[in-house]
């Protein structure tokens, strides 16, 4: 479908159109309220007219909580905007080139056959609606509900309406046809366990969410191997070899984790190659300016400027680089001190109370209260981290995102593991450690995670309906219901972490789970069974949340799991250390090893596992051979094209000099 669509030319693409994919929320006027005051135009009516003038398809919906403006776009409109934005798209020779609407057949189509990805379409929508400006020679007076304001020259209309509090929200809308298809083929397909339509998820939600579910599916499948081994260590009596079972399981788990992370890199590169994302050729992105004949100007002043300007620019770049490093060190120190001075005493107090509490019911209550209280603490810590990031000199959006990930994980690392370390090292109470793992990993956190979005939506829905009943225009005694899909979507919570829009918390949950099952594997080998079962349900539960309980997320561009991969690798190293400590506690407690030879054996094991960690990672190539071959072929094609363009530019320059 993709190849045929790409070759049909511009005419077929013009006929395509998106569904209603973006919604704008504005306050609802009472029926009978004036549409405008005299000659002053109503601002919502003006916004609708301007949206139609730029080529969008507009539908207004009057709902219970507000009024909604739904937007759709013909493919020709999106193509024109993509060209205006100088959007780079992948071509069939493997290079990313600036999009041209009259050369649409040269650009690679998406897995679902569409010309633009969801991220590209959403970017075009935002560019269109925010680029509506006052192009007249004077200010325009607009009104809304007896309130007047001026729309100044060259000012964005939507931005002005947001500043005035008239536009409440601009958000992506679900496509009902595709949403229901994904419900049937993904969210409700429980009997397929870990299978997922990753290409369809990518087409509908974008790269970041598709990468998350691809990782979650592979992680869950790989969990079945240590789950079977761990269950066997608990159920089978190995007789005289029983003392070797836990060390063997420990070796297996570390090797499993190393190979899993390496094979994930392979899968990640293969998936991106299938989507046409990893062939970005960043080295050629700026070549357009370099190949311009004017850039080969031999004027003496330009030569002198390049000659003497380079060292100064280099000095500025180096100064900014080291200044950014110092800022990050300062901010990380603030986070570490906050953890030590504020969070550590709180976590130790909870662990101590849990240890001295005798009744299981009270322990469950104590854990529930703790999890509820810690939500506020981590939310505050997360917001502080977000604020600190703004004062760092990070190079680009991805660098800022990675810095935030490390800071937030530090907060959650202390929250999630300090109590477990307390039970394992100070009390050596392995049974209590196992109970805490089950309660926090499986039961309570999943209940909180999956119930909060539903309760949030139910509360907002109740408030909207209750408010509607007390409006003047609402008939007395008549029931009020949310009748349209768009108003139901508006009331749903957003797909964000509790600290804000800067961080989705799905990978945070996976890293915390990975740390728990890895760092305490020897104390509770069968925990891998609980983790595997939990993740099987997590796949479908997260899919249902995205498709039913949450707004459609705004697409985010993320080709890999980024800083989370470094955290997974850090947790593998931590697991080597903590499990060696657990083996000392277990064998010393049971009296099967003397502590001196036991320590020596465990130290040897620790060094061997570190060798496995850093040695085995080089055995598995990070990219499949076909991905490397494709990239090599594309690089050769790109070099051929660029060489021809460069030769033409040199020839033109030589002709001018003659």
Per residue in 386-406, pLDDT (tens digit) is 777 777 766 666 677 777 888
Both 198 and 160 in one domain: the answer is no
Residue 16: inside a domain: no
What is the structure's pLDDT at 429?
Answer: 65
Of 172, 189, 204, which residue sits at a domain end?
172
Both 600 and 653 in one domain: the answer is no
pLDDT reading at 121 higher than 90:
yes
What is the structure's pLDDT at 342?
Answer: 72
Both 495 and 536 in one domain: the answer is yes
Higher pLDDT, 588 or 514: 514
Q: Which residues contact 525 (CB under 8 A, 6 or more apart)?
A: 226, 229, 230, 231, 233, 234, 246, 249
Q: Which residues contact 1 (CB under 8 A, 6 or more apart)?
A: 109, 112, 113
The two beta strands, 41-42 and 140-144, are: parallel
Q: How confident is the model at residue 88 (pLDDT cuts 50, 70, 90)?
A: confident
Residue 301: inside a domain: no
591-618 average pLDDT score? 63
Residue 83: inside a domain: yes
C-alpha 99/C-alpha 88 separation (Å) is 6
pLDDT reading at 129 higher than 90:
yes
| Burial tier of 392 (Cβ tally within 10 Å: 0-12, 13-18, 19+) | buried
Q: How confident is the model at residue 32 (pLDDT cuts 50, 70, 90)?
A: very low
Residue 95: inside a domain: yes
What is the structure's pLDDT at 48?
Answer: 93
Closest CA to 104 of 82, 119, 122: 82
Both 145 and 238 in one domain: the answer is no
C-alpha 62/C-alpha 590 separation (Å) is 71
pTM: 0.80
Please give the helix or strand (H or E) that residue 42 lies within, else none: strand 41-42
Both 592 and 647 in one domain: the answer is no
Range of lowest pLDDT (276-290, 458-472, 477-491):
276-290
Residue 8: inside a domain: no
C-alpha 419/C-alpha 347 separation (Å) is 6
Q: How confident is the model at residue 658 (pLDDT cuts 50, 70, 90)?
A: low
pLDDT reading at 284 higher than 60:
no
Contact present, 267 and 211 (Cβ < 8 Å)? no
Of 113, 143, 172, which residue sits at a domain end?
172
Both 373 and 507 in one domain: the answer is yes
Phi, psi of 546 (to 5 degrees): -65, -35
Both 490 and 583 in one domain: the answer is yes
Both 600 and 526 in one domain: the answer is yes
Both 600 and 635 in one domain: the answer is no
217-236 average pLDDT score? 93
Both 613 and 646 in one domain: the answer is no
Ramachandran category for residue 657: left, alpha or beta (phi over 0 → left; psi -120 to 50 → alpha): alpha
Extract the tokens encoding 278: 């990893």
Residue 153: inside a domain: yes
Residue 398: inside a domain: yes
- In percent, the amount of the chain with pLDDT more than 70 equals 71
pLDDT reading at 367 higher than 70:
yes
pLDDT one-digit tens code per residue, 171-212: 999 998 999 999 999 998 888 888 999 999 999 999 989 999
Residue listed under structure tokens 């409109």: 77
Q: Which domain holds residue 371?
A: 181-286+319-471+482-623
Instruction: Give the count of domains, the chain.
Output: 3
Both 269 and 233 in one domain: the answer is yes
Both 251 and 213 in one domain: the answer is yes
pLDDT reading at 381 higher than 60:
yes
Residue 580: inside a domain: yes
- Tell me the average pLDDT of the chain: 77
What is the structure's pLDDT at 231?
Answer: 92
What is the structure's pLDDT at 465?
Answer: 61
C-alpha 169/C-alpha 394 separation (Å) is 29
Of 155, 172, 189, which residue sits at a domain end?
172
């Amino acid at each position: 479908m993709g190849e045929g669509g790409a070759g049909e030319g511009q005419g077929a693409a013009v006929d395509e159109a998106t569904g209603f994919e973006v919604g704008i929320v504005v306050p609802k006027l009472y029926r009978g309220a004036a549409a405008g005051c005299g000659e002053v135009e109503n601002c919502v009516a003006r916004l609708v007219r301007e949206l139609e003038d730029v080529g969008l398809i507009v539908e207004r919906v009057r709902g219970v909580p507000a009024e909604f403006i739904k937007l759709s776009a013909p493919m020709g409109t999106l193509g024109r905007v993509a060209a205006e934005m100088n959007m780079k798209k992948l071509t069939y020779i493997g290079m990313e080139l600036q999009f041209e609407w009259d050369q649409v057949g040269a650009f690679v189509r998406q897995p679902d056959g569409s010309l633009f990805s969801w991220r590209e379409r959403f970017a075009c929508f935002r560019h269109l609606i925010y680029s509506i400006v006052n192009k007249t020679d004077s200010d325009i007076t607009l009104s809304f509900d007896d309130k007047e304001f001026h729309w100044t020259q060259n000012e964005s209309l939507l931005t002005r309406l947001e500043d005035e509090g008239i536009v409440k929200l601009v958000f992506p809308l679900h496509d009902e046809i595709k949403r229901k298809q994904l419900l049937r083929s993904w969210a409700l397909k429980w009997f397929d366990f870990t299978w997922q339509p990753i290409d369809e998820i990518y087409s509908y939600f974008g790269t970041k969410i598709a990468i998350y579910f691809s990782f979650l599916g592979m992680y869950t499948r790989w969990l079945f191997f240590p789950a079977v081994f761990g269950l066997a260590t608990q159920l089978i009596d190995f007789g005289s070899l029983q003392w070797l079972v836990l060390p063997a399981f420990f070796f297996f788990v570390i090797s499993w984790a190393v190979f899993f992370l390496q094979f994930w890199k392979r899968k990640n590169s293969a998936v991106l190659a299938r989507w046409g994302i990893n062939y970005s050729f960043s080295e050629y992105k700026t070549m357009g300016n370099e190949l311009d004949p004017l850039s080969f100007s031999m004027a003496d002043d330009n030569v002198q400027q390049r000659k003497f300007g380079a060292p100064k620019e280099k000095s500025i770049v180096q100064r900014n680089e080291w200044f950014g490093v110092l800022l990050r060190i300062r901010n990380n120190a603030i986070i570490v001190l906050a953890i030590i001075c504020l969070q550590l005493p709180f976590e130790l107090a909870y662990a101590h109370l849990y240890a001295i509490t005798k009744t299981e019911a009270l322990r469950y209550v104590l854990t529930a209260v703790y999890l509820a209280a810690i939500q506020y603490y981590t939310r505050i810590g997360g917001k502080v981290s977000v604020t600190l990031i703004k004062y760092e000199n990070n190079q680009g959006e991805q660098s800022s995102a990675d810095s935030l990930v490390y800071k937030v994980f530090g907060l959650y690392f202390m929250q999630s593991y300090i109590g477990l370390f307390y039970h394992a090292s100070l009390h050596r109470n392995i049974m209590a450690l196992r109970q805490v793992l089950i309660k926090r990993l499986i039961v309570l956190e999943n209940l909180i995670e999956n119930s909060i979005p539903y309760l949030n939506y139910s509360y907002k829905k109740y408030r909207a309906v209750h408010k509607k009943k007390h409006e003047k225009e609402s008939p007395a005694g008549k029931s009020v219901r949310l009748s349209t899909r768009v108003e139901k979507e508006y009331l749903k919570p957003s797909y964000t972490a509790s600290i804000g829009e800067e961080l989705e918390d799905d990978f945070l949950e996976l890293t915390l789970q990975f740390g728990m099952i890895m760092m305490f594997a020897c104390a509770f080998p069968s925990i891998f069974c609980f983790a595997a079962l939990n993740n099987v349900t997590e796949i479908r539960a997260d899919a249902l949340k995205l498709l039913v309980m949450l707004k459609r997320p705004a697409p985010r561009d993320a080709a890999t799991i980024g800083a989370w991969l470094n955290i997974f690798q850090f947790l593998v190293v931590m697991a080597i250390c903590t499990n060696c400590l657990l083996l000392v506690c277990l064998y010393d407690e049971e009296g099967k090893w003397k502590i001196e030879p036991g320590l020596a054996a465990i130290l040897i094991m620790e060094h061997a596992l570190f060798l496995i960690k850093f040695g085995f990672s080089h055995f598995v190539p990070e990219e499949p051979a076909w991905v490397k071959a494709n990239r090599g072929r594309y690089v050769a094609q790109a070099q051929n094209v660029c060489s021809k363009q460069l030769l033409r530019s040199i020839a033109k320059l030589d002709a001018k000099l003659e």
